[in-house]
Amino acid sequence: MNYKTLTLTLLLGLGAMQAQAEMTMNHEGHDMSQMEGMTMAEAGDMTMTRGIITRLDEANGKVGIRHEAIANLKMPPMTMVFRVADPALLKDLKVGDAVRFHAENPAGKLTVTAIQRG
């Protein structure tokens, strides 16, 4: 194996390891099997979580939020995209807004059911 081939092989291997580590870190602590089918009664009261809007997609009913830990979903802090139960929830919000929101996991689809500036 020549020097160029060895270098390329090492770089590709390191890139793959970094991508795997980032993916693991972004979703560490998720246990989707425990969250599926969770009802409000099981989640307790309507816990509000603080976050910052990073992306708005009103046409598709989605919102990106950099959030603190979501207690009722046992989810660590991260940035992710959620569905919204009603696209009207996103009215008057913009990227960069500080918000408080409630998320649930009906049928395995993480969904914001309430959101307010805050």
pTM of the model: 0.62
H or E element in which residue 40 lies: helix 40-43
The band of 1, judged by pLDDT with boundaries at 50, 70 and 90, is: low
pLDDT in tens, 72-93: 999 999 999 999 999 999 999 9
CA atoms of 29 and 21, how far apart (whole Å) = 14
Is residue 76 within 8 A of residue 6, CB to CB? The reply is no
Three-state SS for 63-111 is EEEEECCEHHHCECCEEEEEEECCHHHHCCCCCCCEEEEEEECHHHCCE
Indicate whether 34 pLDDT > 80.
no
pLDDT in tens, 39-55: 444 444 688 999 999 99
Domains and CATH numbers, the chain: 31-117 (2.40.50.320)
Q: Does the CA dihedral 44-55-20-111 come out positive or negative? A: positive
The band of 33, judged by pLDDT with boundaries at 50, 70 and 90, is: very low
